[in-house]
Amino acid sequence: MDYLATNDIQDIVESDREHVWHHLIQHKPFETNEPRIIVEGKGMRVWDQKGKEHIDAVSGGVWTVNVGYGRERIANAVRDQLVKLNYFAQSAGSIPGAIFAEMLLDKMPGMKRVYYSNSGSEANEKVFKMVRQISHNKHGGNKSKILYRHRDYHGTTITTLSAGGQEQRNAQYGPYTPGFVEIPHCLEYRNQFDTAEDYGAACVKATEEVILREGPDTIGLICLEPITAGGGVITPPKGYWEGIQALCAKYEILLHIDEVVCGLGRTGTWFGYQHYGVKPDFVTMAKGVASGYAAISCTVTTEAVFDMFKDNASDPMSYFRDISTFGGCTAGPAAAIENMKIIEEENLLENCTKMGEYCLGLLNDLKSKHKVVGDVRGKGLFLGAELVKDRDTKEPVDEKLVQAVVGDCMANGVIIGATNRSVPGFNNTLCLSPALICTKDDLDKIVGAIDAALTRVFA
Ligand SMILES: Cc1ncc(COP(=O)(O)O)c(C=O)c1O
């Protein structure tokens, strides 16, 4: 890279240490240690400032680089688009915006409109604003409350944190936006109900109790991750989605699925909700939409939702009065078009399903070998392993030990993740989300590194 030719990498490290505020990290250790700089990526691998190679088992750290690094075809498409037209506000359309919307909706039967912005948080905020406006315009101010689930995450802004079910992400950032109400999580391994009912039914019943307590006429939306990500890789129990969908129909509550992590193939279908036959009113997506080659997020709605914002053209306040400046950047949809073509042409959904099953098998082998692995779960290439002190009590291991496993893997050239400052006492799930291009050999190396790390840390 040219800019490295004129700068010694050590100068870059020092500039970073002096001036850059990294995300989600305590900086005190950088007074004595070097921050990590990732310099280059190709396929499943990245190289740091020391030239050390790592297999990236978390797609850019946070489930993003679904098609892998170094895709010249995406870079070329973005470059060509930037030269032709880099930007115009989305009050007008763009060629890549129209093309990608059509390609995307083709994968989402029942959905009809795409609203562009540039982060997962922003895409979710759009839904919340739409629901509040529907409440004003259609329900006389009723149906403004939004239900969210314990352990789910929907973003970093104050309002998306208000819909956040992870106490440690939220703590110290209040006061929050009013009108958000929590429902219980659906992690069967940590069944919180003392009932003979099956777990899915118990979760749905508990959700209905919240609806009845708040009053169905106060609730406009339920917002859920299809599979909870940062809250512990939580696959829903049997019957859960059918029950939630039925509650939405019974109490006239709109359903919002946050596909920021699962979207664009992570679980082996285009979207996570498509495993469960769910019919959403809103779907949001970001990370994997362009695999991090450009910033893009989408808020996708049904035509019925869209119609509510155009059916009263004589009222100058009735349409969606919202803009995202960078939602007009054409690089996002230009990158997203190529990203989707790559997933299709290389059969990456199929590879995701096959490699996901293989990896789940490897993780189950780890569970047989290491008593500290209490539960293994996930779908496609979105997997987690929960670490416990004791399989009977399910007491979580100390999170320092979880981080020691992550650190050991990193030292041995494999980047894995773990739930982090999420649910107090439960930051104990190792997370894997390799790119959809991964091979059995990559997965053997990744899980082999975890195996060795567990042996060393819990010897
Ligand atoms: C499920 C989910 N929704 C929303 C977000 C927020 O996305 P962003 O960081 O792009 O704002 C995240 C980020 O991790 C996420 O995991």
What are the residue boundaries of the structural domains of the chain, listed by start?
A: 36-67+347-457, 73-345
Ligand 1 pocket mutation pick from 59, 149, 153 by most atoms within 8 angstroms of CB:
153
C-alpha 10 – ligand 1 centre gap (Å): 32
Rounded CA separation 225/202 (Å): 18
Report CA 187 to chain centroid distance, whole Å.
Answer: 17
Share of the chain above pLDDT 90, in %: 97
Per-residue pLDDT at 6: 46
Summary mean pLDDT of the chain: 97
Torsional class of 280: left (φ above 0), alpha (ψ -120 to 50), beta (otherwise)? beta
Q: Report residue 196's pLDDT band, with 50, 70 and 90 as the boundaries.
A: confident
Per-residue pLDDT at 8: 87
Ligand 1 pocket mutation pick from 63, 117, 121 by most atoms within 8 angstroms of CB:
121
Per-residue pLDDT at 60: 98
pLDDT digits (tens, 9 = 90+) for 120-173: 999 999 999 999 999 999 999 999 999 999 999 999 999 999 999 999 999 999
Note the CATH architecture for domain 36-67+347-457: Alpha-Beta Complex (3.90)
Per residue in 205-232, is it b (16+ CB within 10 Å) or e — as a string?
A: ebbbebbeeeeeebbbbbbbbbbbbbbb
Atom 16, ligand 1: which residue's CA is nearest? 261
Helix (H) or strand (E) holding 241: helix 240-251
Instruction: State the average pLDDT over residues 183-209.
Output: 96
Per-residue pLDDT at 459: 87
pLDDT digits (tens, 9 = 90+) for 392-434: 999 999 999 999 999 999 999 999 999 999 999 999 999 999 9
C-alpha 349 – ligand 1 centre gap (Å): 22
Q: Which atom of ligand 1 is nearest to the CA of 155?
A: 6
Q: Which atom of ligand 1 is nearest to the CA of 228?
A: 1
pLDDT digits (tens, 9 = 90+) for 332-380: 999 999 999 999 999 999 999 999 999 999 999 999 999 999 999 999 9
C-alpha 154 – ligand 1 centre gap (Å): 5
Q: State phi, psi for 32 to the nearest 5 degrees.
A: -115, -25
Report CA 358 to chain centroid distance, whole Å.
Answer: 22
Q: Report residue 284's pLDDT band, with 50, 70 and 90 as the boundaries.
A: very high
Ligand 1: list residues with CB < 6 Å: 62, 119-121, 124, 153-156, 225, 229-230, 258, 260-261, 286
Least confident of 5-19, 94-108, 164-178: 5-19
Question: 73-345 — its CATH code?
Answer: 3.40.640.10
Ligand 1 pocket mutation pick from 117, 154, 267 by most atoms within 8 angstroms of CB:
154
Instruction: State the average pLDDT over residues 67-79.
Output: 98
pLDDT at position 5 over 70: no
Per-residue pLDDT at 273: 98
Instruction: State the average pLDDT over residues 215-229.
Output: 98
